[in-house]
Each structure stands twice: as C-alpha cells, then as structure tokens.
Chain A
Amino acid sequence: MPEVDFIDTQVAREDTRTLAEKARDRLMLGGGQVALFAAFLVGIALEDAVLVTGFLLLVVVGAIGWGRMPKLNRWAGKRLAKDKRFAQLILIALLAVFPFVFLDNPYLIHLGALAAIFAIMALGLNITLGFCGLLDVGFAVYFAAGAYASSQLAVIFDVSFWIGLPIGGLTAAFFGFLVAWPALRVSDHYLALVTLGYGLIMNLLHRNFTFLTHGTDGVINIPPPSIFGWDFVTPIEIGDLELPFQMNFYFLALIIAMLTVFVSIRLRDSNLGRQWEAIREDEVAARCFGVNVRRLKIIAFSTGAFFGGIGGAVFAHMIGFVHPDNFVLLTSIMILAMVIIGGMGNVAGVVVGAVALTLIPERLREFEDLRMLLFGGALVLIMIYRPQGLFPNSRRRRELQAEKINTLIAESGRDDAEAPGLPDEVKV
C-alpha cells in the first residue's frame, strides 16, 4: 500500500519547535520584515525622480531574482506559515509606526492614507474580478457613488460621516447591483464593454446632474469626520508633540482597509467564495453542480461595489472636495491595474498593487506628462513578462491529517500499481 508523503500538503501541523528555535525563527522573520519595511521607507522618502526610478528598478530586479528562486520561495513560505500570527502582528505594528517616521513630512502620511483608500477599493474589485472572474472596467462608478452619497448627505443634511460611510457603501452596492442585471446577460469581453460604457455614462451624469453632484463645480466644503466633537483635521497633541492631522485619516483608512482584508479573506475561504471561484474557472460546470451563478455574480458585483463606495466616502471626507474628474476612465483603469498587477484573487498581492500604484505615480510627478507614458510602458512590460501578476493566486493548502488520509486510502482497499501522484503513462 503506498503511503503518502504529506510534507507538502500539510502546512500547519503541530508546532514541535523548542522555545529557542521559535525565538530564532521569529527573530529572523521579524528582522526580515523590518528590513523590507525600511527599504520601503527609503523608497517612499526619495524626492528626486531619477532616484525613485533607480529604486524601482532595484525593486524590479530584486523581485525577478526572488521569482527565479522557487526553492527559497517555498522555504520562506513554510517559515511564514508557521509564524503567521506573529508576522501579521509585526506588519500591523510597522504600519502603525509608519506615520511617526514622517512627522515632519505630512504629505507622505497623506499619501499613505490615499494608498489605504485605494487598497480598500482594489480589494473590492478583487472580489468581483479576482474571486468571481467578472471584468468590471467601470469601477470608478462605485467610487463616485460612495463619495457623492456620503459627502452630499454631510453637506446638505448634516449627516455624520459615520452614518454616511455605510450609506455610501450601500449606494455603491446598489450601483453594482444595477449593472449586474444587464452585465450578466453577456459574457467575457462584452461584460468589459458594458461596464466600460457604464463608467463613461455615469461620469457624464456626474457632470450633468448638477442638482445631485454640483457638476463640474464639484461638492465643496465636505466636513471632516468627527468623534464626540473632535474632528479629524484637529491635530492630536501628545505633550509638546503635535501629530499632523493627516495621521488621523491615515489610521482611519488603515483600520477600514484592514477590515476589508478581513472580510475578503473570510469570503474567499467560505463556501460562497469557493463557488465564486468555481464560476470563474468554469461557469457551466459550476452550474451543473448546483451553483446559482446568477445570484453569486450579483453578490460579487454588489460586494465589490460596496467597498468601492466605502473607499469613495473616506476619500471625499479626507480631501473635502469631490469633482467628476476624480471618477474618469483612468481611475477605473488604475484600480483595475492594481488588482491585475498585484495578482487577481491574491488579497495580499492586491494590497501591494494598490500601494505601489498609488505611490509610484505620485513620486514620479517630476516627469510630468512623461510619467503616465513611463507608467503605461511599465504596466505593459509587467503584463508581458508576468501576466498572472506579481503575486499569483496560489492555492491555499488545507491543514489535513496525513494519518487520516492514509487510513482512508487503506480502507478503500485499492492497491494501485501506479505510485500516487505520479503522472499516468498516457497523455492525450
């Protein structure tokens, strides 16, 4: 009877490391994280566009080198799996430290908040596109819906941000639901066309439905969020130290982004998420096995849109000003690029994609018009050389008990001549 070697399949079996080994592993892991974070800080603090470009090239070379070393990759993956909780804690700690590094440069903290907002939206699109495989090229519609709904509620009706935020999300979800109906009658490329048209039409409406959006005047004087009379543009003071108010928005956006990550992971790992992925993989087969494709696609559209709206609401109240130019086709394409470059379906990858695509164009402003050209060129290159994105969506391995599986095999009473897992002779 062939015994199965489960080294690969079983990731998180009981931790048998001694205390000293554990400490050593965690020190190495934490050290690695801090080093990467430090490199990131250096990169983001660079002022000179040429230096930024050099830094990016270095990152690209590093990433390619890393990708060329699958053994190291697997080793690191296993290490990480063992101390996942620990790594998450360190990451959260580093993200919390980030604004304190730049107390004298609030603009960078502002950029951090912006990156978190785009991460929220990219995670939303990742649900629609990454999980369910629905190409939505009009994501700015939901961004706009959330931004307009929550800001106008605040401006006209004096509604608190904390109520406007969920309403913004729900409004956006409704707009996702709206396009789902016609969109589900078509497939693939046509879906992209339908959502593209939707984005263009809605942006026209943003410009022309002035009673709702104030047209190209934009919605101005959007009040910042406030808690118990303290509002987010008032800096917090600790002793003599005055923390820039951008920090308030940074932490607000960061917390919402972390919640979005949590929801994404919960959904992905659920029956619902698995059925979404089945639709993405083969719709006909999914349907034949009882997956209610229509229902699930509508949920995917609406949920994705919801997070677009949440991002929009936070954006509006942070910037204080909403204009139709924020919601043009380029915005949709940027959010789409974040998901595709990060790696469709990979939650962590999408966050990295969102952060990178928010920060890099900002840091390249010196190049002016050239920057979009460079940027577009880089995107094309990435798509040619790494079409699955920087962090392709690898399958989650389940924790399974090797003994149990071997018992099942033994009970099946089949002694196969062919060794398990080895490819069959025949290829057709």
Chain B
Amino acid sequence: MAVDETAATILASEALTKNFGGVMAVNDLSLEVREGEITAIIGPNGSGKTTFFNLIMHLYDATSGQILFGGERRNLLDLPTHKINAQGLARTFQTLRLFPNLTVLENVLVAMSAHVNAGFLPALIKPRSLREQDKGAEEKALETLSMFGARLISMCNEPASSLSYANRRRLEIARCVASRPRLILLDEPVAGMNPTETRGVIEDIQRIHEKGHTVLLIEHDMKLVEGVAHRVFAFDHGTKIAEGSFREVSTHPAVIEAYLGKRAARH
C-alpha cells in the first residue's frame, strides 16, 4: 500500500509532550494523520500510544505542544473532553470502557449524545419533535449495530456486560461509528482475540474505512497492520521513530531495534 502525500491532514500533533512526574510518556511528538487513510501506530508496550489518544481526547493536559484537528486546525487541547466528539472524533479504549449495565443499544445511543436533545424540559414534556428525533436515533443505532451482522443486534436489549469479550470489543467500535466521526481512534481493537476473530475485525475496520471514515489505530503486534494500514508510525519512548508504508517502517533499523528487540537487530 502506497503512501499518498497529497491527502489533506486531518490531525496533526505538534511537539507534543506529556510528562507524568518524570516519566516522559509522550516526548516531543510530531506527526500528521491524513484524511481518508488507515493509519497505524505501532510500538512496544509503554511507548506512549495510549497516552497519545488520551491527549487527543484531552483527558490529560499536555505538558507542552498542541494537537490540531481538521481543516480549521483547531487545537483540541483548548476544548473540554465532552466537546471533542462533536468535532468529529471518537475513540475506543484498550481496556474496555463500555457502560456495562446499559443495554447494547443504549451504549450506542449514548455515543450519539452530540446529536440528540438532552434537555431537562423536553425530557419531561416529550414533544413530538423529540420523539421523532429519538426514533430516528434508535434506527440509526440499530443500523450501526447491524454492521456486525447478528452478533450485536441480536443482543441489543441485553446489558453490555452480557456480551462475550470479542463482542464487547466490537461494541466499542460500533459505539464510535454511531457518533458519526470523521476520524476514528482504535486502541488495540483486536487485543485478546483469536486469529479468526482478529481477521473479522480487521475486515470490519476496512469496511468502516470504505464508508468514509479516517482510521487511526494502535496495534502493538506489528504484523497485524500489514496490508491494512496505508501509513504506519512507529513509536518508542513516547516519540515517533519511523514513518512510512508498512514495508518502510518494518525494515527501518531503529524500529527493528526498538520494537523487535536488540537481538533481532543483530541478525
């Protein structure tokens, strides 16, 4: 897969640094994610991948630097977390963060918060316009769930906690898609899955991409992103050590050394 240098930048990290009391989780990180691509971030555990996502969602304040989003190049670090989704960003969590006691359908409906009226008076009065809006949201949510065949939708009225592990991961993705983002951030979407499930989810990701979403995904198993990612960033110690096509990055000496270990580099 070739790297297209003409595509517009959708997300840019500029000299981003996050210092956790001496631990430089993200260290002077600059990178650009291109609109319309599937981009993968690879890197060993502890290399700052998840922290980067947390910074994008402004769950932490950055020590320095900025994260610019979209054509307007809005600095996400100037926005509170709950306003970031409406900008066109949604994420999954490496350690699953579903709403376990809400039903599968409700999990997806919550993700559409930016698109529905959550006013106090409308909740009491329930005007017709709101009822129609809710009906529409419910249909959209079901449609999104059907993205995974019968797996999720057949459980739509069951609590999310009753889903199998793999289906929980799928629900995390469905929740993202339902919020209609331009850029979807997936944090190790296939962690803990068996090879068959992994293949399925990777196909799902490609389908999401075909529907017009830009995808930025984290994966620590480098082989998995081969043939999927148009562009790969390799992280180590909180910073980008290589960038390019999978082939370029996977053969980059710094990556082999940092990522596969010193022993591999010697061979």
Contacts and interface: CB of A to CB of B under 8 A. Distances in A.
Given A273-B123, A426-B194, A286 B110 contact: yes
Interface size class of B (residues with CB under 8 A): 35 or more
Interface string A403-420: 011001101101110101
Contacts of A286: 99, 110, 113
Contacts of A229: none
Interface string B86-108: 10001101000111111101100
Interface string B202-218: 00000000000000000
Contact of B102 (A266, A267, A277, A397): A277
Contacts of B146: 405, 408-409, 411-412
A4 B150 CA distance: 8
Interface in A45-62: none
- Chain A, interface residues (CB within 8 Å), range: 35 or more
A386 to B, nearest CB: 17
Nearest to A396: B103
Nearest to B204: A414
B148 A271 contact: no
Interface stretch (B15-23, B154-162, B256-264): B154-162
B73 interface: no
B124 interface: yes
A210 interface: no
A44 interface: no
A205 B159 CA distance: 45
A416 B149 contact: yes
Interface string B142-181: 1101111111011111110000111100000001000100
A272 B123 CA distance: 7
A409 B150 contact: yes
Contacts of A296: 118
Contact of A270 (B57, B102, B122): B122
A314 B204 CA distance: 58
A96 interface: no
Contacts of B165: 424, 426-428
24 contacts: A9-B157, A267-B120, A267-B123, A271-B109, A272-B119, A273-B123, A274-B102, A275-B113, A275-B118, A286-B113, A288-B81, A289-B85, A289-B110, A290-B82, A397-B157, A398-B105, A404-B142, A408-B142, A412-B148, A412-B149, A421-B150, A426-B164, A426-B192, A426-B193
Interface of B: 57, 59, 81-86, 90-91, 93, 97-103, 105-106, 109-111, 113-114, 116-120, 122-124, 126, 134, 138, 142-143, 145-151, 153-159, 164-167, 175, 179, 192-194, 197
